[in-house]
Copies of this chain bind each other. A is one copy, B any other.
């Protein structure tokens, strides 16, 4: 009987007193406290966290819905969340969604069933209308900008960063500018396209390749872009890994960077720094950290994390 009442019995005190000792309440006499601690030690007792969570109604656990675990961008966010969670004695449960709406809803149900105190959504497939009702059961925080008031967010102003980047390229005399993105349906892809339209006008389809994630994909994308009759003079990649792939394919074809082709990456990853690729650092670690803080404070604020352009030799 390794539970609190067993301990109480052995120590000759009441359950309440054991609980007080466990929680460092004052108003426990030294002798009883010692007696209790002694029995706890002897019995090698540890309180049952499920019972505690049940009665307290909170679990000090946050769930993180993220589509893929091996994605460098989501990884940075997760890192930020883990940092702050660790500091605040919270646990982090990874909820891989693969952009599957049913999985997402399943995870939100777990919030409702009191398994998590809050959920951070790194990226999502479901509509906000579907998600919002769950905000009654714990704080839900998004890592992209939200227009509603129910869901707080910690985000990087991507649209603005895309504008800046395209403008930078335009200023340097580039008009044939191509770019890669991740999912076609994603928010940031739309923002990227909008930003392109804003700066250069109507986007020709041959300047955009989607579904790029890693170095491999960048290599293939570069191949297509550079072999196309509408060859771009600059490519904006949706990540430094992708940018690295582009860089390596280009140099393998004796294309000079930046003379023949300018490249800009994103997220400031090691690959980019080694190859000297200019990049936009969206500070996703910071985004994750702030997202966790919002959950912790049950806040619905909207926190804009500033991005920065790191200029290197690829433009």
Query: Using a CB–CB distance below 8 Å, which chain A residues touch chain B?
Result: 46-51, 53-54, 59, 61, 69-70, 75-76, 78-79, 82, 86, 91-96, 109-110, 112-115, 214-216, 219, 241, 244-245, 248, 270-271, 273-275
CB distance from A313 to the nearest CB of B (A): 12
Assess the B69–A75 pair: CB atoms within 8 A: yes
CB distance from A79 to the nearest CB of B (A): 5
Cα–Cα distance between A82 and B92 once the two chains are bound (Å): 14
Secondary structure of the A contact surface, majority rule: helix
Cα–Cα distance between A93 and B49 once the two chains are bound (Å): 15
Cα–Cα distance between A36 and B284 once the two chains are bound (Å): 46
Assess the B86–A96 pair: CB atoms within 8 A: yes
Assess the A271–B274 pair: CB atoms within 8 A: no
Assess the A78–B69 pair: CB atoms within 8 A: yes
Residue in B closest to A89 when the chains form the complex, CB atoms: B106
Assess the B50–A270 pair: CB atoms within 8 A: no
Residues on the B chain within 8 Å of A216, using CB: 270, 273-274
CB distance from A314 to the nearest CB of B (A): 14
What 10 additional pairs, Cβ within 8 angstroms, besides A216-B270, A248-B274? A49-B114, A50-B54, A61-B93, A69-B75, A70-B79, A82-B94, A219-B274, A244-B271, A245-B274, A248-B275
Cα–Cα distance between A248 and B59 once the two chains are bound (Å): 47
Residues on the B chain within 8 Å of A46, using CB: 109, 112-113
Cα–Cα distance between A109 and B70 once the two chains are bound (Å): 29
Cα–Cα distance between A115 and B92 once the two chains are bound (Å): 13
Assess the A114–B48 pair: CB atoms within 8 A: yes
Residue in B closest to A218 when the chains form the complex, CB atoms: B274
CB distance from A119 to the nearest CB of B (A): 12
User: Mind listing 24 A-B residue pairs with CB under 8 Å?
Assistant: A46-B109, A48-B113, A49-B110, A49-B114, A49-B115, A50-B50, A50-B54, A51-B54, A69-B75, A69-B78, A70-B75, A91-B93, A91-B115, A92-B93, A92-B94, A94-B94, A214-B270, A215-B273, A216-B273, A216-B274, A219-B274, A244-B271, A248-B274, A271-B271
Assess the A50–B59 pair: CB atoms within 8 A: yes
Residues on the B chain within 8 Å of A48, using CB: 54, 113-114
CB distance from A255 to the nearest CB of B (A): 15
Residues on the B chain within 8 Å of A50, using CB: 50, 53-54, 59, 114-115
Residues on the B chain within 8 Å of A92, using CB: 93-94
Cα–Cα distance between A112 and B43 once the two chains are bound (Å): 13
Cα–Cα distance between A92 and B59 once the two chains are bound (Å): 15
